[in-house]
Amino acid sequence: MVKAVEAMERSRLERPPLRITRTFHAPRRMVFKAWCSADHVSRWFGPNAVSIAEARVEARVGGPFEVCMRGPDGQTNWARGVFLEVVADERLVIDLTAADGAGRPLFKALTEVRFSDAPAGGARLDIVQTYALIDPETAAPMVAGAEEGWRETLDKLAAQVVRHGGDETAAAGAVAHATFHLERTYDAPVERVWRALTDPAAKSAWFTGSPEGEFELIERATDVRPGGRERLKGRWEGKLVSTFDAIYHDVIENVRLVYSYEMRLNDQKISVSLATMELSSSGARTSLRVTEQGAFLDGYDDAGERERGTGYLLDALGASLTG
């Protein structure tokens, strides 16, 4: 009985390790460097909803890795740790303790980060994070959301290394082909959804650059008809300019849109895609199915990132229909 209770307590205080792999379109020395100073870490560490209020990072054995994250409500949480291993461009091990704003420890997270060359060019990052809960009631929900938090964090890191000079030849000549499907159902009649997809004023309410407001609009044009063109061009924080250029091939009102589009970062073409939007009506509700087939060029983007970005836009479309 005692052993059973002890086992239950260990289960309550420990969680299975989290394992994450991500490929970056930059040399691994650049991705490694992004972990090694407070200036770099403060630009990308933490999920989308937080900002970095303070950071202290010294990439040496025994050196600090300390980051204060401020949430949208103004409350802060600390990740305080030390580097246990530092192997340049290859491996970092950080013994982290997450604490609340008052410095009360919540859980420990042993974080192992391995850097390697990706087969198609660029860098591969493998993260293993092992948890031990100190305050299970407070920490358990935080640990449960760690995978999503890391996904958002690494999205920011990926954007950071590209914005600040990721190696444009890291995957030169590579082409990755992929297809993805997304579906949404909106509490709005099909005519209203169609207007949000095709009317310039209605589309400008949701078709934009960034959920964090880091996108400065440079140019927008929308002409939805067979042979018509659409363009969205804007500047991101860090001065990177992205351009969406589309041409419509098939337009059936309230039923279907088929278009192809190019994406560019500055003057670099990063992808060419064919997209289909299919609408179906059921009373006052509308279902939208999106299919994209993409050729992702030279390692600058991939289907996973594009799918997440398209999902964000479809959710923004839904929000615009509730107003």
Domain boundaries defined on the chain: 11-163, 175-320
Percent of the chain with pLDDT over 70: 86
Convert the pLDDT of each residue in 36-94 to its tens digit: 988 788 888 988 888 888 889 999 999 999 998 888 888 888 899 999 999 999 999 99
Q: What is the mean pLDDT of the chain?
A: 85
Counted residue by residue, the chain has a size of: 323
Mean pLDDT confidence for 295-317: 80
DSSP 47: -
State CA 59 to chain mean position distance: 25
CATH top class, domain 11-163: alpha beta
For the cut 60, the answer to whether the pLDDT of residue 29 exceeds it is yes
46, exposed or middle or buried, with CB in 10 Å at 0-12, 13-18, 19+? Answer: buried
Q: How far is CA 104 from CA 83, 208, 238, in A?
A: 21, 40, 35
Q: How many Å apart are CA 250 and CA 199, to the nearest integer? A: 16
**Residues 163, 237: Cα–Cα separation, whole Å:** 8
pLDDT of residue 200: 96
Supply the pLDDT for residue 285. Answer: 96
pLDDT of residue 214: 65
SS3 247: strand
CB atoms within 10 A of CB 281: 15
CATH number for region 175-320: 3.30.530.20
For the chain, helix, strand, coil in percent to 5 are 25, 45, 30
Instruction: Identify the pLDDT of residue 235.
Output: 81
* Average pLDDT value for residue range 147-157: 89
pLDDT score for 61: 96
One fold for both 11-163 and 175-320? yes
Task: Tell me what pLDDT residue 269 has.
Answer: 87
Within 10 A of 172 (CB to CB), how many other CB atoms are there?
Answer: 11
**At which residue do the structure tokens 């990308």 appear?**
44
Q: Above 60 in pLDDT, residue 164?
A: no
297-321 per-residue burial string, b: 16 or more CB within 10 A, e: under 16: bbbbbbbebbbebbeebbeebbebb
Q: How confident is the model over 225-284, as pLDDT tens digits? A: 999 999 999 887 556 688 999 999 999 999 999 999 999 987 788 899 999 999 999 889
Burial profile 67-78: b = 16 or more Cβ within 10 angstroms, e = fewer: bbbbeeeeebbb
Helix (H, G, I), strand (E, B) or coil at 25: coil
Q: What is the pLDDT of residues 129-147, one digit of tens each?
A: 999 998 888 888 888 888 8
Q: Give 91's strand partners.
A: 87, 114
Pick 26 or 179 by higher pLDDT.
Answer: 179
* The pLDDT of residue 179: 92
* SS3 call for 70: strand
Phi, psi for 3 (deg, rounded to 5): -65, -35
Which alpha helices (H) appear in the chain, and where do they start and end?
2-13, 28-33, 38-44, 136-144, 146-163, 190-198, 200-203, 303-320
Which residue type, as a one-letter code, is found at position 223?
D
